[in-house]
Structure 1
């Protein structure tokens, strides 16, 4: 499964709204400008998020979008499923070889577990502590 720009930019929108949660509505224009994205494309992405009840729109001069729930209550899986559809690495049927089918099911379930256990709050509070495989250069 490859996450398209729909899923990636959708997470960007949701992370921005999570960062500003409780501060009032956020315009798509401000998100687009901050991340160098097309406002028109973000408008297309926010519609299904609104229809799914993940965001609310606020009309008016100071309008925009807000999360429908706290960032701790919304997961990356919620966003990806709305914008990308069901999570599955491949289409498989009951007629497939049982060993391969089991592999696909385990991969699907592992991906779903990671997405469903990662909240928007986790994403916005993530700090890269570096990995043990990274190099430190001194000049």
Structure 2
């Protein structure tokens, strides 16, 4: 399964809104500018997130978007499913070899486990976690 820009930018939107909790609505223009993204593209992504009940819009001069739940209650899987569809690396066919079927199921379950076990709050505070090691740190 390849996560497209829809999923990646959707997580960007949701993380920005999560960082802004308690500070009022945040405009897509502000999110787009801060992340060097197209506001028009973000407008296309926010609609399904709103329809899924993950965000709500606030109208007016100081309007924008807010999360409908605490960032700890929204998972990366929630966002990816809305924007990308089911989390499934391949379509398992009934005539597939049982060993291959098992492989695809294990891959799907591993990806789902990571996405479902990662909240927006985890993503927002990733750099704050002292247990996270820099993947580019080499020890000799």
Matches within 5 A, 1:39-118: 39-118=39-118
Q: Residues of 2 paired with 1:72 and 1:26: CA distance?
A: 19
CA offsets per residue over residues 2-24 of structure 1, 9 Å max, x none? 10000000000000000001111
Runs of 4+ in 1 over 4 A off after TM superposition: none
- Is 2:20 the partner of 1:17? no
Deviation by residue 1:82-131 (Cα, 9 ceiling, x = unmatched): 00000111111222111100100010011000000000000000015424
1:113-132 → structure 2 map (5 Å cutoff): 113-127=113-127, 129-131=133-135
- Paired residue total: 135
Structure 2 residues not aligned, in runs of 5+? none
Give the whole-Å Cα distance in 2 for the aligned partners of 1:76 and 1:103: 23
Separation in structure 2 between the aligned mates of residue 105 and residue 98 of structure 1, nearest angstrom: 10
- Secondary structure (helix, strand or coil) at the match of 2:56 reads strand
- Corresponding position of 1:33: 33
Unaligned runs of 5+ in 1: none
- SS of 1:134's equivalent in the other structure is coil
Corresponding residue SS for 2:57: strand
